């Protein structure tokens, strides 16, 4: 079924409410930041928003041109997006997340962990290898830092502990060795029993 264009708002809304899932996903497209459009050589200017993207609010009371916010949830069914840290208080003092329409947001950084999204961008002739390499390097640095922190914590624990604590793992390994060296003795077989 092909949709004809219409200027009637009631028809547009009805089509959005009754749309199949693949059309709902396309309705959640956001504009890219000018810096990203230049980076991708003007090949794309809008892309469907995903969880993990960084966005900037450009319309409404939460508008802040300098603040980048993470997308924590995308709701295709009601065409809304939830951002981290932006909540409203209800009459009973409960805090609920404030939802945004895609037209009020601008994507400042894309989440490229999804291979289908990467493939779509690369199909336009844009090479993302430098971005992927930078992300991998950042992940490796984070792992190294975690390992160094873990080693530092272990070093602190060893300094605080007694010598018995150092000898305890050796005793445990000796006990394990003794268990593995157990020999199973066979019972003597009496005549007539086999």
CATH code for the domain of 95: 2.30.30.30
pLDDT (tens digit, 9 = 90+) per residue, 33-89? 999 888 887 888 899 999 999 999 999 999 988 899 999 999 998 889 999 999 999
**pTM for the predicted model, two decimal places:** 0.61
Domain presence at residue 153: no
Whether the Cβ atoms of residue 55 and residue 71 lie closer than 8 Å to each other = yes
Q: Is the pLDDT of residue 170 over 80?
A: no
Q: Domain range holding 49?
A: 9-111
Q: Is the pLDDT of residue 128 over 70?
A: no
- Count of structural domains, the chain: 1
Q: What is the mean pLDDT of residues 124-128?
A: 71
- What local confidence, expressed as pLDDT, does residue 17 receive? 86
Domain presence at residue 192: no
Domain presence at residue 57: yes
Whether the Cβ atoms of residue 71 and residue 49 lie closer than 8 Å to each other = yes
- What local confidence, expressed as pLDDT, does residue 39 receive? 85
């Amino acid at each position: 079924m092909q949709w004809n264009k219409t200027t009637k708002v009631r028809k547009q809304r009805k089509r959005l409410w009754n749309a199949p899932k693949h059309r709902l996903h396309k309705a959640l497209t956001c504009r890219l930041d000018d810096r990203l459009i230049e980076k991708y050589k003007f090949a794309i200017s809008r892309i469907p928003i995903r969880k993990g993207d960084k966005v900037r609010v450009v319309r409404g009371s939460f508008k802040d041109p300098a603040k980048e916010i993470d997308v924590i949830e995308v709701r295709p069914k009601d065409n809304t997006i939830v951002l981290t840290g932006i909540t409203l208080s209800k009459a009973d003092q409960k805090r609920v997340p404030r939802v945004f329409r895609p037209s009020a947001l601008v994507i400042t950084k894309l989440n490229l962990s999804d291979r289908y999204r990467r493939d779509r961008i690369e199909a336009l002739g844009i090479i993302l290898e430098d971005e992927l390499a930078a992300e991998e390097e950042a992940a490796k640095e984070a792992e190294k830092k975690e390992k160094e922190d873990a080693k530092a914590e272990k070093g602190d624990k060893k300094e605080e502990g007694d010598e018995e604590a150092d000898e305890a793992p050796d005793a445990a390994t000796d006990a394990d060795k003794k268990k593995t060296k157990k020999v199973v003795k066979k019972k003597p077989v009496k005549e007539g029993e086999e």
